[in-house]
Chain A
Amino acid sequence: MAEARPTHGVEWAIAGAVVSFLGLVVVLPLISLVATVGRAPWEAVAGLSTGEAVNALGLSAAVAAIALAVNGVFGVVGGLALVRHRFPGRRLLDWLVDLPLAVSPVMTGLGFLLLFGRTGFLGPVLERLDVQVAFAVPGAIVATLFVTLPFTVREVALVAEEVGTVEEEVAATLGATAAQSFWRVTLPKIRHGVVLGVTLTVARALGEFGAVLVLGGAITNRTMTATTYIHAAIEGRQTSAGFGMALVLAATSVLLMSAVQRRTSR
């Protein structure tokens, strides 16, 4: 049906409801964050230049970079595997890949704690190997790898399904090796999916809170990430530092996502 302007009173009422709903739920709260930080920007800057804030941001960036690398590689392998190969257990694998989206991050943290904690199922093994995962940096990394697993797999699978395998077959008939075909044909074809997938991965990694709180323990200067820093700062009444960090995180994710969306929609 042709697009139209609302004509009926009821339609205008619905339009008004939509605007006020989005305003009250999303827009005004986000504006109030910017306004709160903007009212006393130097307090936020001072709060964010303390050692613990810098360390927290650094750890978040490092963990996000690791998630990008590991789940980027596994995402390409997995996305292609699910679309291009038929093997026993494929449906189960497909289902497992989506599972991190369905479970609470607290349960994720608890699950790893039950595995890697001192009294956990693998606790004695880790103790003998002298490896600490829970309440240490590896814990924050593992938790983040779990929650960011689906993104690159899904985006790569979507694109791989669209582009098909005709070019790869041509490459094979022309004598290309599997490696040549992957680097010169497949990877350029699925490029957009990879870029979108790893961006979602980074945004999600920077924003992960529950799982890294439970498994990492949010120990100041050791396992405190940007999100757990916000939580601790606000609980400790250091509102300007907490809001400053919240703004930094939100702005980073929003800019990342909008940059990628603009690129991939072209």
Chain B
Amino acid sequence: MRGSRPGSIRQNSALPVHAGAPASVRLFGCWVALLVGGPILAVLLRSAMEGMGAFRAIGSASASDAIFLSLWTSALAAAIHAAMGTAIAWWLVRWALPGRAWISRVVDLPLAVPTLVAGVVLVGLYGPQTLVGSSLAGLGLHIAFARPGIVLALLFVTLPFVVRAVEPVLRELDPAEEEAASSLGAGRWRTWRTVVLPAILPAIAAGSVQTFGRSLAEFGSIAAVSGNLPGKTLTASVYVLGEVEAGHPGDAAAVSALLLLLALALNPLGGVLVRFLGGRRG
């Protein structure tokens, strides 16, 4: 599932466009307003109806544990992908090694695999009853039904974001700058740190923010892999499901509204971060 492309409707000013909205446009507007606006307003309204109860619901130990777990596992996934995604993009653009087409294909695979299936296959490999899982457990490392499994699932479903954000920037990078740096005596690492990294940092940040946002919203893979133990491996989205099933829609709405506001704040925050990192370059 291709990620959102913020601001993708960039208008080429040479194209004539029609002012005003014909019937088809109004129909589409109504459809989106009902289909998307409806449920989202319902969650916000239901949460507002709770009044102060909404804050109590969010502040309860089990809810805040779940929200905190979602936040740090998502941040960890974003940090790991900031490094690994950049390395993968580097391989795709700069290294003439065999298997490049395969790596590109593997990077796109998670977009095609349903997220529940991603969780199921991780349990299939790292679950306690499998060869790999039981030998790792012997070493004291539990992956499935434990927190590492959550991070692994998030890494699976968000794999393409940093890679596909950094790759085009790396491709466009003017090699003259790097050559100039190295001809002035800068070593490889210094050239990379002072020339390449500042150029790709905004793209890394954009991809990482997307990874973080997608991870916060993730449900299917986590539901399968985490074991959903309250206070230990229960993430926010699974907690919301539990509240719905327990017949507490108000509490579910309150936690959902918080997650929604976080997700909505993320886009402008990410934009500021990307502009800051890009601006520093001069």
Contact = CB atoms under 8 A, between A and B. Distances in A.
B37 A96 contact: yes
Nearest to A88: B21
Contacts, number: 297
Contact of A25 (B31, B90, B152): B152
Interface stretch (A42-50, A185-193, A246-254): A246-254
Contact of A243 (B16, B46, B124, B155): B124
B20 A85 contact: yes
B88 interface: yes
B236 to A, nearest CB: 8
B25 A246 contact: no
B16 A165 contact: yes
Nearest to B99: A19
A22 B103 contact: yes
Interface residues of B, number: 105
A18 B264 contact: no
Interface in A159-196: 161, 164-165, 169
A150 interface: yes
12 contacts: A30-B121, A77-B28, A78-B32, A93-B32, A102-B4, A203-B1, A208-B114, A209-B116, A209-B219, A230-B117, A230-B120, A231-B224
Closest CB pairs A-B (n = 7):
A111-B39, A207-B114, A1-B175, A87-B21, A210-B219, A114-B42, A29-B121
Given A87-B20, A146-B35, A209-B220, 17 more contacts: A5-B96, A18-B91, A26-B110, A29-B118, A29-B156, A78-B31, A81-B24, A83-B9, A85-B25, A104-B259, A106-B256, A169-B16, A207-B220, A208-B114, A242-B120, A250-B114, A258-B112
Interface of B: 1-6, 8-12, 14-22, 24-25, 27-29, 31-33, 35-40, 42-43, 45-46, 84, 87-88, 90-91, 93-97, 103, 105-118, 120-126, 130, 152, 155-156, 159, 173, 175, 178-179, 188, 213-214, 216-220, 223-224, 236-238, 240-241, 244, 249, 252-253, 256, 259-260, 263-264, 266-267
